[in-house]
Structure 1
Amino acid sequence: MTMHRRSMIAGAATLLQAPFAFTRARAAEGKVVMASWGGGGARMWRDSFAAPFQQASGIETTVVEVPDPAAAVAAAQGRPQHNVIVAASYQAANLAQRGLVEEFTEADLPSIQHIPQQYWIRNAEGKLLGMPIYFIYYGIAFNESMAKAADFDTWNALKERKWRDQISITRPLFLAPYDLTLYAKLNGGDEANIRPGIPMLEAVAKNAISVYTSMASLQQQLSRGEVTAAPFYSGQIQMLRRAGQTDVNITLPREGGLVLSYVLSIPKGSQDRAAALSYLNACIAPEKQVSAAESGYLPLATNVTLPNALERELGMSMADVRARNWSPNWYTIATDLEQRIRLVEQILDRAR
């Protein structure tokens, strides 16, 4: 659904404030009950990770579809219905700061050795908050009948007046950890110093005709030509093109983009920690990672070699993808996430 600029500033609910209806499934001894977003992501988790793990380990493994796994843990208030969740890295860090997910040592997660430390999510004491599992990168998606990749050779192109009322942006809940952080980095700041990113976010917001409310809504906007371009997720465009929407593409500007990483965490207070830990370590197996990559989720582990066809589809090697995308410290971002969201709401309000 496309929204006019005047309706852009509908207040964003934080991930910790969303209501949630619990499923009947509950983690029990000898079981893994994993919470995942629904749709294609949940199917991928069942096929690529859960089923092979159950077959190899004999541990009953269920993937439960929920609106937002991190919100489910927050709403459970210490009585989680799942003993594994997949979450964006900043979400896991936010939950950890509320004491809602388990903390680990490297001995608990031996498979993490295959993942470069820049992608590990640690708290202030150096404890691990889960197993980094995969990533997508944040680039600029565009409609090829209305623009070309060269038009967005730089992130600064999103500020150009010629794109007035042709750009779509996401909600403050995601603008704060993603766009504002990236724009700060591009202008001399970083995840701890976001002030340099404010003018750029305000300029991009002035060009925005809509705030997309879901990934599906932006995909529709782009494919129908309702908007020309938007900062978006690589995996979503990869799957859209596979489905036949080849008029929509994504480009990685010359400054690079963001590594949007995801982590498997164990909610504090959940049952059967041993089974859950076994699942976390098993999910790093190369064959599982390749299977996930076929659905657009790129491996963080360096012991994974993608088929040549997948790298051709990406348009670059995995080494190039990693080198050209920055992975910020998500724990730093999560420390004052709600304040950052309020700041973004104020920025969008000024841009109306």
Structure 2
Amino acid sequence: MDRAALRMVCSPQFWRMAILWTLSLLHSYLLVFLRGRTAIPRRRRPRTGAGGEGRRPICVVTGATSGLGKAAAAALAREGYHVVLAGRCMQLLSEAVEKIQRQQSDAYLEAFQLDLSSYRSIKKFESSLKQWILETNSEPAIQLLVNNAGILAKSHRITEDGLDEMIQTNYIGPFILTNILVPLLKNSPVPSRVVNLTSFTHRCVFTYPVSGIDVSEGALRGMKLGQCSAGKSYHLASSYEYTKLCLLLFSYELHQQLHISSAVSVMAADPGAVETNIMRELPPCLSWFAFSVLRFLNLLQQTDSGVGAVLDAALAPAEASGEYFFGGKGRTIRSSRLSYDTEVAKKLWAESSALFKELQLRGRDLGTN
């Protein structure tokens, strides 16, 4: 074990992940067990609108270069979508497209660069996507957005927008991207959908009073969880949990705002524990140990099976909007009590919107299109 791994093993954040994350995962499966056998909802294939013969409905999958994102892109292409793969590295995106097309010669795929930790990159993606849609599709619309991208950062890094990289990538970026693409979702001639990938780790945000979770601008910038305090280590586990809870609060609030007033449904998907490269920044020996323990407990899934919850959320009937899909096989459970706090969700939305507007104004000053 090297020095970096030893330091991490001695940190409270490591034991938070080792103990609380495992207990949260087991708690989720306990909820599945207590709910008993439920009928698996029939998945609905994507549809085109009137006059849309020969045109496949468009879906966008973020973080599509590897892991669940790539698996979701492949699965949704099989379902009949024209899949837009979005990710930070064009080379990895090209490799993902080539691999999927080798397995599915009839797959319709496009790749666009997108870094959710950069407002400028999100705006560039929006512009490129709209231009591509105009060139290939008569309807300026998309039918599905899958917010899959996420990171588990081991250190506090400030983005060009002045935010904590993990918080911006996992929550602020998806919030901005979704709001930017809502007009295209509303333009869909058939019911459209947003799927946000959250995590069982959101249940670990229980140390705060229900009314006391901090969703202020400072917290969303990454300044309130101890990340920036001199001499303190980065609270990687707590920050990751926080981003996943924020994404879930956002999902439920977005459902309230869109589902009744429009044909856009919103689902939360929690795949459970899946063997991906999410822990790539941690010491390799610790990642190997974590996956080995989860495999021993029969709690670890491969991406091909772990993507089930994503497909359940993406293809469920529209009336399932606002549900929390967990672990595949059509299963839905209740998320944490805190995630259903509507007052917190509304405050989070207001603070996130304020940050969004600030970045918009800054982008205009800098000439961002």
- Alignment TM-score, normalising by the size of structure 2: 0.35
Where relative contact order (Cα < 8 A, 6+ residues apart) is larger, the structure is: 1
Which has more strand, going by share of residues? 1
Greater helix content: 2
